[in-house]
Structure 1
Amino acid sequence: MSLTKYLWAALGLALGLIAQPSVGLAQDCTTKIGAVLPTSVDWGRPIAETAQFAVDQVNAAGGVNGCQIEMVLRDTQVDPKVGVDAAKALVDLEGVDLLLGAVSSGVSMPILTSVTVPSGVMQMSCCSSSTAFTKLAEEGKTNGLWFRTFATTGVQSAVAAKVARDQGFKSIAVLYKNDDWGQDMARLIAADFAAVGVEVTASVAINDGQPSYRGEVTEALASQPEALYLALYPAEGTAAVREWISLGGTQKMIMANSLKSDEFRDNVGLQYLGSALGTDTASPRSESADAFRAAYIERFNSEPNGPGLANSYDAAMIGLLAMQAAGEGASGAEIAAAVAKVTDPNGTPITADTEGFAQAKEILAGGGTVAYQGATGDVRFDANGDVSAPAVVWSFNESGTQEVEYLSLAEVDAFIASLK
């Protein structure tokens, strides 16, 4: 071949490669997902960091459908209006088809009804437990776009009733946050406590941002309860409990998982919380949960003791697996439909880490399905996007919290059945 013909052939080959963007350039792309989480509060930041941990592991496995994942994070401040504005920005401006969040049913609900469902975006929450979502799904109003890795308020309410019964309480007053989650908790608690013979002497709503809760606390105290149940978040919980203690209220308390916070413990004072017991959903005693704990300690140099951490990890990982299963350029509805392919009890079991995600990609590419085994165990969603879970009773100590009692999924289900 002459030099001139050789140069023309080489030029033709080069132009041919340029004309095929899939050659050598397939990895040079980014896909955005959204996250609306309360990073401005101390217990919210670790939830967001844990979601990013899952994203980092997926990117180490080559990303999703050949592209690296960028999690665009917006702070909700646990405020419904701020949360809706943040979600709209992620959907309308960033063009995300998968949204992680939010924390608090009172924030997740308006995002679901006014942003993700109208826009056809899949929403996966780590930390929203209201049974109102179940009802909405049963009515066909979520369009199959809603999932959550946190069990419903029914679990926490039932376990709280068990704690009250086991402690021998005969009467209890309830202070609850005046939002979707708190109202749901108050309704369920009234029924569950009655089922175990505990009288709810008063059920008082607590609103955000008040300078004092003396009036509400005085109302609850006037009913002369033997104990106090708290379905509040740390900010208003701290203020309400300080008022309660200062007015001579009992230190016998039962707390929802929302108060599993160093901020709450430190601002109230551990000396006033020695008789307080909390409830929470729990990771199962399984190899996958143990593996997550070990990986979390290696990454963050601390135990994953905060609320919603394991749930946040699983929400992010399952969402990204579903994106992989749905294929490049999939819509929110297509991603949601693919969740079944990655949480299939008959699929190939995969671990919740970089290696597991890489294995899942090969299986899905071959037309198979996978059974995700994650930080909260073998996650399985029902038709409404709900999961069930084991539970734990906990108390505060100087380093954070400690487990008092563990209830397996079978024990939780059996106790809930006994209440009915």
Structure 2
Amino acid sequence: MALLPACEDEEEEEATPTPTAAAETPSPAASPAAGGPLKIGSLNTFTGSLGEFGESISKGAELAVAQCNEVGGVLGADVEFSVADTQTTPTVGVDAARRLVDIGGVQVIIGALASGVTTAVAESVTIPGKILLISPASTAATIAELDDDDMVFRTTVSDDAQGAVLAQLAYEDLGYTKVGVMADNNPYGVGLAETFKSNFEALGGEATIVKYEENQPTYLAEVQQATEGDPDALACIGYPVEAQVYIREALENELADTFLFVDGTRSVDLPTNIGPEYLEGMYGTDAGTVRVEQLVNDYEAQFGETFPVTPFTAQAYDAAALLCLAANKAGSTDPEAIRDALREVSSPPGQTVTAGVDGLTEALELIAAGTDVDYEGYASSTDFDENGDVAQGAISIWQYINGVPTGVRDIPVDFSE
């Protein structure tokens, strides 16, 4: 993986998150078939440890579907969009995915958010059922290792990139030489923590990882262990609900007052509940974007609300847009046919088309004329490798400013080299 020079600073605005319930269960439908309309299921998280993030991610995909339908849909029919809540829990996610497939008749699923949920859904539902799964937010490197018959894709870069950038941020930019790490004991938390540790120690630093379980009333013992030896910072690699508990305990017991954050703890609720003054100026990383201005404008026009500062909205848009283009390219809504066309519409050669309604219009016209297209997304170039991962993308460095996670710069990353 190559880390490239940083892009110019990104501009982000404060969101005002509002609770969103999952959509009603879709009416019964036949099994996925090539002749019916394209039905996309959004398997997201509206409750549980990542409940803060689900609404904006789902709306990113919903925006792409709305724009696709505005310019012709898929094979002349409107794309149908259903939503289900995983509650940030693998077993619930598996049940929700089964309902989307068996009752809703979806041929493709966008999701999930938590890597552990995505893995469980893939292994239990979508891989054996030949349903195409594309996650905009699950970053655990282990997802690339799934035996998935090429039916699992991602529009976000893996934590191999985020861990390396977080290590560089801590060691080279912030001057930390010793970091304690609180890691959620799941594929995402442990994987990212270990990637950070290996990169940080390769630079000359020292990192201690302490794993913790979700939904516990206290994490004082784990925080005490992670802060032994008085580290320069405590890295919070997990989700906001648990981070709120152990950050408060670290502060109250004077165990740590400097923290590092990641995509899972890029949160509006976290500083609100702890007190923004305690996190002011502290840094984190998450999945970045390569272009975002048009997405911000379109999102705010579509939903009448401020564009969110929580991550993965752009990645969700790209996932839905690609599915619509691939189905049109395939001339079918069969999941395997869409899979086979996915790389064709997302990679060179082909005429470049960009994200947004104008780009989708152009893409559908070119596809109808038999011309190859190469979709360039909001989050990345969307060139998929043999594992279904994007080969190029960006990691964002951000900072808590007045209680709001605010983008500082994007670091392009390239796994193709």
Change (3 A) 1:272 1:110: same
Verify the 8 A CA contact 2:284 2:397 in the aligned structure 1. Answer: yes
The answer as to 2:173 corresponding to 1:173 is no
Residue 298 of structure 1, CA deviation: 3.0
Verify the 8 A CA contact 2:37 2:74 in the aligned structure 1. Answer: no
Q: Following superposition of structure 1 onto structure 2, how do residues 267-306 of structure 1 map, counting pairs within 5 Å?
A: 267-284=273-290, 286=291, 289-299=292-302, 300-306=304-310
Verify the 8 A CA contact 1:350 1:371 in the aligned structure 2. Answer: yes
Verify the 8 A CA contact 1:120 1:331 in the aligned structure 2. Answer: no
Q: Following superposition of structure 1 onto structure 2, how do residues 343-382 of structure 1 map, counting pairs within 5 Å?
A: 343-382=346-385
Count, aligned residues = 376
The answer as to 2:294 corresponding to 1:312 is no
Q: 2:230 is paired with a residue of what secondary structure?
A: coil
Change (3 A) 1:53 1:216: same
Determine the C-alpha separation between the residues in 1 that align with 2:104 and 2:405.
38
Residue 53 of structure 1, CA deviation: 1.1
Please name the residue that 2:215 is paired with.
209
Greater Rg, structure 1 or structure 2?
Answer: 1
Determine the C-alpha separation between the residues in 1 that align with 2:198 and 2:403.
35
Determine the C-alpha separation between the residues in 2 that align with 1:226 and 1:357.
48
Structure 2 unmatched ranges of 5 or more: 1-35
After superposition, the C-alpha distances for 1:139-195 in whole angstroms (9 at most, x for unaligned) are xx1101111011000111111111111211111110011111111112212211101
Q: 1:173 is paired with a residue of what secondary structure?
A: strand
Match of residue 154, structure 1, among 132, 154, 160: 160
The answer as to 2:206 corresponding to 1:222 is no
- Measured on the aligned residues, the alpha-carbon RMSD in Å equals 1.9
Verify the 8 A CA contact 1:277 1:394 in the aligned structure 2. Answer: yes
Verify the 8 A CA contact 1:304 1:310 in the aligned structure 2. Answer: no
Please name the residue that 1:35 is paired with.
42
Determine the C-alpha separation between the residues in 2 that align with 1:304 and 1:321.
26
Q: 2:52 is paired with a residue of what secondary structure?
A: coil
Q: 2:296 is paired with a residue of what secondary structure?
A: helix
Determine the C-alpha separation between the residues in 2 that align with 1:370 and 1:304.
30
Match of residue 113, structure 2, among 103, 123, 134: 103
Verify the 8 A CA contact 1:260 1:306 in the aligned structure 2. Answer: yes
Give the letter aligned to residue 222 of structure 2.
E
Residue 378 of structure 1, CA deviation: 2.2
Give the letter aligned to residue 327 of structure 1.
G
Q: 1:279 is paired with a residue of what secondary structure?
A: strand
After superposition, the C-alpha distances for 1:322-376 in whole angstroms (9 at most, x for unaligned) are 1221223x32111111102211322112232333323322222232221112211
Change (3 A) 1:275 1:358: closer
Structure 1 unmatched ranges of 5 or more: 1-28
Verify the 8 A CA contact 1:344 1:369 in the aligned structure 2. Answer: no
Residue 225 of structure 1, CA deviation: 1.6
Q: Percent identity?
A: 31
User: Deviating runs (4+, > 4 A) in structure 1?
Assistant: none
Please name the residue that 1:401 is paired with.
405
The answer as to 2:128 corresponding to 1:118 is yes
After superposition, the C-alpha distances for 1:206-235 in whole angstroms (9 at most, x for unaligned) are 211111112211221234222111111111
Return 266-275 or 147-156, whichever deviates more.
266-275
Higher normalized helix content (fraction of residues): 1
Determine the C-alpha separation between the residues in 2 that align with 1:57 and 1:406.
27
Determine the C-alpha separation between the residues in 2 that align with 1:265 and 1:43.
15
Determine the C-alpha separation between the residues in 1 that align with 2:96 and 2:412.
37
Residue 30 of structure 1, CA deviation: 4.7
Verify the 8 A CA contact 1:256 1:278 in the aligned structure 2. Answer: yes
Determine the C-alpha separation between the residues in 2 that align with 1:83 and 1:369.
36
Determine the C-alpha separation between the residues in 2 that align with 1:60 and 1:170.
53
Determine the C-alpha separation between the residues in 1 that align with 2:270 and 2:189.
18
Q: Following superposition of structure 1 onto structure 2, how do residues 9-20 of structure 1 map, counting pairs within 5 Å?
A: none
Match of residue 60, structure 1, among 61, 67, 70: 70
Residue 401 of structure 1, CA deviation: 2.2
Residue 239 of structure 1, CA deviation: 0.9
Question: If the length of structure 2 is used for normalisation, what is the TM-score?
Answer: 0.86
Change (3 A) 1:331 1:277: same
